[in-house]
């Protein structure tokens, strides 16, 4: 009979598919997603779990009229395939290709950007209120999953839902996972709902009859009976008290059960929450067994069924060093926001379970929790991706820096740009944090210096932030002892040659930009320019003494940072020189004041002019020697 997926060119086509062929469509979607992600990399396990859910949504709702908001957006690959992007799906996460997340300027069926968790319910309430105020038609559906129900923004939205009194539908995709395993009281409550044997036995029998009820009034009667049965066994008042009628748990891989629940919710006049149980990694056994390893992956060999091997990067170095420091100091505590494995904290969590805390997708809570620990005499270390720390900047200011508390922020994936696109680029942490009083901010040139900075942070009497990229830095000898650093002291790595020639030019570079500084320096030296290189190490406080001394004798200072130039490290250098009215010119190299698209890191660096040839060429032009 041929491929079903090839006949779907718009979301309306899904409704025309015979019900008995839906499992076949689901299998085709799984094969396309597996084949594409094995080539491009991406979020795998979560997308394999939402395929039946997506098909059912498109059979009951019409995205030309209804608004479907995904949270989090990395579970929407099958949505993209079924809403007109099948022919472009092979370009997933590539430069110029389709995004790995919902993107309104990519498709009219993506109604809201959803790169970070916890935003869908707030956005859905806003859209529902707008619909009601304008008197238009259409359903508003928020699809929440991967632990985002426990996010603080979601709970704030729940709190306002009853007062708003607008009709909307919340689909809670409960796969028992965020990236790491879900934690917390709400997760345990949902687990009890899913696991109650007596309730589910009776509910299964009722559903068998309910699936055969196609008339609207009979379906409504069935769901009233179901509600009464639930009240006998489940304490589901949590959602009811927020003004949401609770329906479920529903088998998220049963088409009949999903469509029946969605139809009932569509016809109900008040807000509804449908609790859907799905299996992360569904249909791909390696991902079913280890969904956290297959959450976000690079390209891999599909036949081998193994995720790409992770290299010994900065995250792993942090985890090993923190565990060793935990051996010596019982006051060292580690915190993660649902990213234990990604931030390298696994060894600490295993060895010191009583001093390890996963707070879920709740970054602001993690920071204030750390502040409370620090105020009580502990030395908390919060390891978090740069892109997710953005959500907690107010807490860093008000609860950590204002009180000058010894909290250490380990800012992972700092400076990282790539295929996930602008929602996940880690290039804004310097401008966001540099302005905060009392904060010491550092970036290492290699993993050994990261250990030195961690030791520096844990002995510093105040807040610190250490930013570092994902990929391994230069090879280092870990048999060497990493010593704490003097706060605010930069490191001279190369001094200008003596004698004639243009210059000197001094590079002030942060961490992973030092190789770029050395490569540009070689080009300049070949052109007769004298060059020196500084490993800045400290973004704040700057080594103002070295900087100002060099400014008196140099033609140009060039800053290199893997971050946004607006308000970044280069701005700090300009400010320090402006304080002494230095006439020295400063050339700042980093990411421009714009959102950066998706692509490989090397492609994006080239697009931004962050290459040895581009930088050396601009320097020569400024010196008048090109």
How far apart are the C-alpha atoms of 423 and 416, rounded to whole Å?
11
| Distant-in-sequence, close-in-space partners of 44: CB < 8 Å, separation ≥ 6 | 33, 34, 37, 281, 284, 287, 294, 295, 296, 297
Tell me the H-state helices in 435-529.
Answer: 447-459, 514-526
pLDDT at residue 346, as a whole number: 95
pLDDT at residue 311, as a whole number: 66
CB 326 within 8 A of CB 351: yes
Average pLDDT over every residue of 24-36: 95
Residue 560 pLDDT exceeds 50 = yes
How far apart are the C-alpha atoms of 118 and 95, rounded to whole Å?
27
The 3-state secondary structure of 201-222, one letter per residue: HHHHHHHHHHCCCCCHHHHHHH
pLDDT at residue 6, as a whole number: 92
Inside any domain, residue 21? yes
Mean pLDDT computed over every residue of the chain: 88
Average pLDDT over every residue of 595-601: 94
Tokens of 498: 């003596």
Residue 209 pLDDT exceeds 70 = no
Residue 376: CB atoms within 10 Å: 9
Residues 454 and 570 in one domain: no
Residues 448 and 377 in one domain: yes
Inside any domain, residue 336? yes
Average pLDDT over every residue of 460-486: 90
Q: Look-up: residue for tokens 């607006």?
A: 566
Q: Where are the beta strands (DSSP E) in 323-397?
A: 332-336, 356-358, 379-385
pLDDT in tens, 171-182: 999 886 443 454
CB 99 within 8 A of CB 342: no
Residue 44 pLDDT exceeds 50 = yes
How far apart are the C-alpha atoms of 55 and 58, rounded to whole Å?
5
Residue 366 pLDDT exceeds 80 = yes
The mean-pLDDT minimum among 132-136, 233-237, 460-464 falls in 233-237
Inside any domain, residue 120? yes
CB 333 within 8 A of CB 349: no
Residue 548: φ, ψ to 5° = -70, -30
CB 102 within 8 A of CB 114: yes
Nearest to 513 by CA among 610, 608, 598, 619: 610
User: What pLDDT band is residue 299 in, cutting at 50, 70 and 90?
Assistant: confident
Inside any domain, residue 273? yes
pLDDT at residue 226, as a whole number: 53
Residues 452 and 526 in one domain: no
CB 436 within 8 A of CB 396: yes
The mean-pLDDT minimum among 1-5, 309-313, 318-322, 406-410 falls in 309-313
Tell me the H-state helices in 65-196.
Answer: 77-82, 120-134, 152-164, 185-195
Average pLDDT over every residue of 426-435: 97
Q: Provide the CB-side half-sphere exposure for 207 (13 A, CA).
A: 20
Task: Please give the residue that has the higher pLDDT: either 82 or 202.
Answer: 82
pLDDT at residue 178, as a whole number: 41
Tokens of 17: 């598919």
DSSP for 577-592?
HHTTT---EEEEEEE-
Residues 522 and 453 in one domain: no
pLDDT at residue 180, as a whole number: 45
- The SS3 assignment for 559 reads strand
Residue 626 pLDDT exceeds 80 = no
The mean-pLDDT minimum among 126-135, 447-456, 473-482, 583-592 falls in 473-482
In terms of phi and psi (left: phi > 0; alpha: psi -120 to 50; beta: otherwise), the region of 95 is: beta
Domain of 401, in residue numbers: 314-467
Q: Active-site residue among 103, 245, 280, 434?
A: 280
pLDDT at residue 225, as a whole number: 52
Residue 478 pLDDT exceeds 90 = no
pLDDT in tens, 210-245: 555 554 545 555 555 555 445 444 455 677 778 888
Rg of the chain over all Cα atoms, to the nearest angstrom:
27
Residue 207 pLDDT exceeds 60 = no
Residue 302 pLDDT exceeds 90 = no
| Total count of domains within the chain | 3
How far apart are the C-alpha atoms of 496 and 533, rounded to whole Å?
8
Max mean pLDDT range (187-196, 282-291, 311-320, 542-551)? 542-551
Average pLDDT over every residue of 112-131: 90
Residues 181 and 281 in one domain: yes
Residues 320 and 445 in one domain: yes
Inside any domain, residue 213? no
How far apart are the C-alpha atoms of 150 and 183, rounded to whole Å?
9
pLDDT in tens, 381-391: 999 999 999 99
Q: Active-site residue among 320, 363, 449, 561?
A: 363
Domain of 598, CATH number, reads 3.40.50.920
pLDDT at residue 195, as a whole number: 44
Residues 258 and 359 in one domain: no
Residues 444 and 497 in one domain: no
Residue 9: φ, ψ to 5° = -115, -10
Residue 549: CB atoms within 10 Å: 11
β-bridge mates for residue 623, sequence order: none
- The SS3 assignment for 202 reads helix
User: What pLDDT band is residue 305 in, cutting at 50, 70 and 90?
Assistant: confident
Q: How far is CA 394 from the centre of its chain?
A: 18
pLDDT at residue 463, as a whole number: 98
Residues 141 and 100 in one domain: yes
Nearest to 268 by CA among 442, 141, 120: 141
Residues 269 and 326 in one domain: no
How far apart are the C-alpha atoms of 470 and 491, rounded to whole Å?
23
pLDDT at residue 194, as a whole number: 45
How far apart are the C-alpha atoms of 149 and 143, rounded to whole Å?
10
Residues 25 and 89 in one domain: yes
Q: What percent of the chain has pLDDT over 90?
A: 69
Residue 610 pLDDT exceeds 90 = yes
Domain of 341, CATH number, reads 3.40.50.970
**Which of 286, 306, 325 finishes a domain?**
286
pLDDT at residue 99, as a whole number: 92
Inside any domain, residue 305? no
pLDDT at residue 301, as a whole number: 84
Q: Active site includes 391?
A: yes
pLDDT in tens, 50-109: 999 999 999 999 999 999 999 877 889 999 999 999 999 999 999 999 999 999 999 999
Q: Where are the beta strands (DSSP E) in 252-293?
A: 272-277
pLDDT at residue 179, as a whole number: 39
**Which of 271, 286, 301 finishes a domain?**
286
How far apart are the C-alpha atoms of 523 and 616, rounded to whole Å?
6
Task: Please give the residue that has the higher pLDDT: either 356 or 479.
Answer: 356
Average pLDDT over every residue of 271-275: 92
pLDDT in tens, 137-150: 999 999 998 677 77
Inside any domain, residue 361? yes
Inside any domain, residue 292? no
pLDDT in tens, 186-197: 545 554 544 444
Q: Look-up: residue for tokens 């990395």?
A: 74
Residues 383 and 517 in one domain: no
Q: Active-site residue among 80, 379, 391, 546?
A: 391
User: What pLDDT band is residue 296 in, cutting at 50, 70 and 90?
Assistant: confident
């Amino acid at each position: 009979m041929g491929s079903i997926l090839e006949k779907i060119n718009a979301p309306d086509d899904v409704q025309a598919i015979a019900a008995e062929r839906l499992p076949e469509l689901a299998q085709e979607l799984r094969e396309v997603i597996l084949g594409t992600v094995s080539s491009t990399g991406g979020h795998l396990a979560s997308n394999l779990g939402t395929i039946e859910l997506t098909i059912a949504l498109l059979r009951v709702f019409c995205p030309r009229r209804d608004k479907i908001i995904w949270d989090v957006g990395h579970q929407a690959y099958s949505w993209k395939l079924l809403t007109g992007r099948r022919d472009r799906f092979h370009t997933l996460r590539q430069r110029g290709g389709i995004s790995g997340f919902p993107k309104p300027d990519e498709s009219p069926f993506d109604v809201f950007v959803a790169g970070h968790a916890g935003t869908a319910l707030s956005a859905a309430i806003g859209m529902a209120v707008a619909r009601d105020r304008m008197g238009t038609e259409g359903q508003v559906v928020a699809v929440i999953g991967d632990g985002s129900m426990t996010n603080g923004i979601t709970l704030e939205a729940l709190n306002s839902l009853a007062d708003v009194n607008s009709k909307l539908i919340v689909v809670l995709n409960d796969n028992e996972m965020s990236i790491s395993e879900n934690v917390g009281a709400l997760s345990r409550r949902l687990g009890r709902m899913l696991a109650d044997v007596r309730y589910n036995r009776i509910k299964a029998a009722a559903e068998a009859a309910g699936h055969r009820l196609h008339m609207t009034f009979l379906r409504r009667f069935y769901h009233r009976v179901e509600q009464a049965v639930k009240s006998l066994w489940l304490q589901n008042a949590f959602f009811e008290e927020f003004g949401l009628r609770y329906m479920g748990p529903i088998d998220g891989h049963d088409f009949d059960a999903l469509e029946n629940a969605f139809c009932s919710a569509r016809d109900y006049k008040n807000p509804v929450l449908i609790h859907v149980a799905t299996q992360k990694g569904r249909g791909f056994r390696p991902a079913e067994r280890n969904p956290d390893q297959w959450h976000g992956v690079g390209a891999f060999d599909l036949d081998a069924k193994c995720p790409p091997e992770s290299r010994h990067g900065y995250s792993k170095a942090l985890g090993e060093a923190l565990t060793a420091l935990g051996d010596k100091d019982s006051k060292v505590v580690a915190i993660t926001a649902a990213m234990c494995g990604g931030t390298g904290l696994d060894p600490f969590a295993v060895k010191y379970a009583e001093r390890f805390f996963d707070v879920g997708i709740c970054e602001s809570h993690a920071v204030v929790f750390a502040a409370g620990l620090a105020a009580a005499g502990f030395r908390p270390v919060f390891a978090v991706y740069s892109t997710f720390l953005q959500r907690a900047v107010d807490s860093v200011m008000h609860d950590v820096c204002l009180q000058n508390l010894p909290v250490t922020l380990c800012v992972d994936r700092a400076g990282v740009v790539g295929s996930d696109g602008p929602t996940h680029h880690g290039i804004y942490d310097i401008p966001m944090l540099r302005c905060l009083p009392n904060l010491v901010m550092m970036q290492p040139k290699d993993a050994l210096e990261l250990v030195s900075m961690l030791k520096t942070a844990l002995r510093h009497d105040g807040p610190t932030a250490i930013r570092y990229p994902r990929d391994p830095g230069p090879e280092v000898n870990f048999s060497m002892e990493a010593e704490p650093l003097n706060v605010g002291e930069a490191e001279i790595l190369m001094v200008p040659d003596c004698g004639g020639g243009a210059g000197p030019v001094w590079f002030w570079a942060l961490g992973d930009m030092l190789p770029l500084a050395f490569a540009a320096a070689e080009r300049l030296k070949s052109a007769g320019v004298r060059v020196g290189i500084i490993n800045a190490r400290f973004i704040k406080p700057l080594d103002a003494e070295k900087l100002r001394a060099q400014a008196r004798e140099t033609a140009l200072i060039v800053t290199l940072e893997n971050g946004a130039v607006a308000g970044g490290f280069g701005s700090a250098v300009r400010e320090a020189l402006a304080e002494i009215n230095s006439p020295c010119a400063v050339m700042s190299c980093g990411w421009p004041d714009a959102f950066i698209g998706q692509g490989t890191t090397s492609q994006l660096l080239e697009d931004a002019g962050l290459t040895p040839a581009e930088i050396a060429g601009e320097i020569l032009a400024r010196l008048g020697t090109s």
